[in-house]
Amino acid sequence: MCGIIGYIGSENAVPIIVDGLKKLEYRGYDSAGLAVYSGGGFEVVKRKGRLQALESEIEQNPIKGFAGIGHTRWATHGEPSNENSHPHLGHQNKIAVVHNGIIENYKQLREKLEAGGIKFTSETDSEVIAQLTEYYYKGDIMETVIKVVNRLEGSYALGIMCIDEPDALIAIKKDNPLIIGVSDHGQFIASDVPAVLKHTNQVHYPNDKEIAVLRKGSVQFFNLDNEPIQKTPETITWSFDSAEKGGYPHFMLKEIMEQPKVLQDTFQSAANTGDNKPIIDSLDFTRFNKLVITACGSAYNAGVVAKNVFERLCGITVEVELASEFRYKDAVVDDKTLVILVSQSGETADTIAAMREAKSKGAATLSVVNVIGSTIAKESDFCVYTAAGPEIAVATTKAFSAQLVLLYILAIRFAVQLKKLSPEAERELLAQIKALPEKANDILKQVDLIQQYASTCVGCKSIFFIGRNIDYAIALEGSLKLKEISYIHSEAYAGGELKHGTISLIEENTLVVAISNCKRLYDKIMSNVEQVISRGAKVLLIGNCPAAGANETDKKLSVIELPETNELFSPSLSVVALQLFAYFVAANKGLDIDKPRNLAKSVTVE
C-alpha cells in the first residue's frame, strides 16, 4: 500500500505535497518523493527512508512549482531505494507518474519496452507506467492515458503529469483508492481524505477507470471513450484524526477489518500470481531432516500454529523456539536444518540474532516478513513477504493473519514434496485457504455481539484462554492480544492441563475463553468448560462447535460461533474473534490501544 498526492493551483505545490505526504505516511513509509513542474521541466526529489529525509533535502535545496505529484512508498517490487522511489519519469523526462497498486503484467510490458531500446532506471512495476506513457505519447496526453490504462493489468491509483501540458494534472484509478479534492485555490488528488482535509472538505470519489483532469480552476471527468462525465463533489464531515484511520477510532480496529483483503492478497501472492509463488516453488524441502521455527511474540504464536500444520501435513517433527532463547542455546542445527524466521518488521533484534546463529551453523534460513528490504528479509537465504501492507497499531493483527496463510502454504508445498499430499488433496487444502477471507468477513459481521460481550469483561482481573491442539496454539495469541492492549492479566492453557494445577485459580466469575474448532476433541474441551463452570467460572466459547449445552438462560456460558473450516486453518478464524474481543475490552477501558504502554512496534533492541 502506498500514498499518492498531487496539486495544481495558485500556490506553491511543494509544501502542500509534503504536508499531504505526512498525512499519508501510515500508508507506507520506506521512501518518498515528489515532482513539480517548474517552467522548464520537472524538478524531482526522491529519498529512501522516512519522509524526513525528503524534507531535509528540500530544505537544503528548495524547489517550487504550481503543479506537482508526490508519493510515499510501501515497497512491493524492488527494495526501498532512491531509484525505486516515486515519481517515475519516462525515458525522455516528459512524463512523471506516481502509482499506488500492483501492475501484474509489468514484466511483459517491461520486456517489450526494453526490446524497443528503452532503458529502465528502477526495479519497480510502477516505472512501466511512466515508460509506457512516454512510449505512446505523441502529443495528446488524454489519448495516451487511455491507451496506457487499456494495457495495464492489476490495480492502480495514478497521478500523471506531462511536460507538454503543464496546466493539467491527470488521475485515474482501478481497485485502489483515489479522491479528488476541489477548492478555489487549487485542485488535489490523493489516496484518501486526510491528505487534503486541511485544504478542502469538497471531495470527488471517482469510479474505476474514470479519468480526472485537474486544472488550476477546474476539475473534469471523462470515461475511457474520452466522453465527459458529470460528477458532484461530496462534503466530508469527518474530523482529520478520524479520517486518517479511515473513520475507525483506532488503527488496530481498521487493521482487524482489513484482514479479509490481506488474507486474499497474501493467498494470491503465494498460491497464484505474485512474487511469493516462484520463491515457494523454488524451495526444495526434501534436503532437510529438521525444521525449526523461531520468532518472538505474536510471530512466535504463529509458529506454534504452524507446528501443528506442518506436523499434521508433513509427518515431521517441528521445533518452535522463542528467538530470545534460540540465540543463546547453542542450537542443534546444521546444513540439513531449515530454520523459518517469522517477523512482521524484519528488524526484531532477537530474531535477527537467531537467524545469524542458525546461519553460522550452516542451517538454511527462510523468512516470513512483512517489511520489504528489512534486515531479516535481506539476510535470510529465502524470503516470502506477507501482503499485509503497513501495520501501524503496535498489537499485530493483519500481519499475524498473513503470516498464518504463508505458513499454511509452505506446509502444503513441503507435504507435496514429501509425497504426503496428492495433487487433489493439495488443491482441496488451497481451496479451503482461499475461502478464509469470506469466512473472516462473516466473523467481522458479529462485531456487535463480541463488543457487547466484551463490555461485561472490563472488570476482570484475570482471563484464562484454553484450547486443545491447534486451538491451544491460537489461545496463546488470544491471550497475548488481550494482555498487551487491555493490561489485564491473562494466560493460555492447554485444556488438559487445567487439572494439573491451574484449575485451583478458578473462582466465582473467573472468565475463561474456550476455543473449540477440533471436532474430535469437542467433548474434551466441553468437559473442561463444565469443570470450570462448576467452580464458578463464566465461559466464552469461541469456535465452530456450538456448545450443545449452551442455552439462553445459562448466563455462565456464551458462544461466538465461527464458520466451518479445516481445523488446521481454523486459527485464521478464531483469531479474528479473539482480536475483536481484546480490542473491545481495551476500548471499554479507554486505553491507548494503538500505542500500549511500554511497547514498541518493532523491538530492535534486546
- Return left, alpha or beta for 483; rule: phi > 0 is left, psi -120 to 50 is alpha, else beta: alpha
One residue of 126, 144, 294, 351 binding ligand AGP per CB under 6 A = 351
2 is catalytic: yes
One residue of 148, 179, 296, 562 binding ligand AGP per CB under 6 A = 296
Residue 135 or 465: the one with the smaller Cβ distance to ligand AGP is 465
Residues in CB range of 398: below 8 A, 6 or more apart: 255, 256, 258, 259, 262, 388, 389, 391
Residue with the three cell numbers 512495476: 125
H-helix or E-strand containing 558?
Answer: strand 557-561
Q: Which residues pair with 214 in a beta bridge?
A: 169, 219
Catalytic residue among 147, 277, 589, 601: 601
Catalytic residue among 2, 162, 314, 457: 2
314 is catalytic: no
Residue 120 or 487: the one with the smaller Cβ distance to ligand AGP is 487
* Grid cell listed for 213: 483532469
Residue 191 or 348: the one with the smaller Cβ distance to ligand AGP is 348
Which positions from 167 to 206 touch ligand AGP by CB under 6 A, shown as an x/- string?
----------------------------------------
One residue of 54, 280, 292, 395 binding ligand AGP per CB under 6 A = 395
Contact window for ligand AGP (CB under 6 A) among 277-285, 338-346, 421-429, 453-461? 338-346
Distance (Å, rounded) from C-alpha 399 to C-alpha 255? 9
One residue of 122, 131, 294, 344 binding ligand AGP per CB under 6 A = 344
Sheet of 538-543: strand order equals 489-494, 462-467, 511-516, 538-543, 557-561
Distance (Å, rounded) from C-alpha 427 to C-alpha 416? 11
Interface with ligand AGP, residue 348, by CB under 6 A: yes
Interface with ligand AGP, residue 603, by CB under 6 A: yes
β-strands 489-494, 538-543: how paired? unpaired
Interface with ligand AGP, residue 544, by CB under 6 A: no
Instruction: Residue 192: name the closest of 204, 209, 183 by CA.
Output: 204
Which positions from 299 to 328 touch ligand AGP by CB under 6 A, shown as an x/- string?
x-----------------------------
Residue 30 or 125: the one with the smaller Cβ distance to ligand AGP is 30
Chain residues 462-491 in contact with ligand AGP, contact rule CB under 6 A: 484
Q: Is the dihedral of CA 104, 243, 51, 368 positive or negative?
A: negative
Q: How many residues bind ligand AGP (CB under 6 A)?
A: 16
Residues in CB range of 245: below 8 A, 6 or more apart: 251, 253, 254
Residue 20 or 303: the one with the smaller Cβ distance to ligand AGP is 303
β-strands 337-343, 318-322: how paired? unpaired
Interface with ligand AGP, residue 343, by CB under 6 A: yes
Residue 366 or 395: the one with the smaller Cβ distance to ligand AGP is 395
Residue 213 or 323: the one with the smaller Cβ distance to ligand AGP is 323
Interface with ligand AGP, residue 345, by CB under 6 A: yes
Whether residue 362 contacts residue 334, with contact meaning beta carbons closer than 8 Å, is answered with yes
Q: Give the shortest CB-581-to-ligand AGP separation in angstroms.
A: 14
Q: Is the dihedral of CA 530, 536, 542, 548 positive or negative?
A: positive
Catalytic positions, written as ranges: 2, 601
- Site for ligand AGP, rule CB under 6 A: 296-299, 343-345, 348, 351, 394-396, 484, 599, 602-603
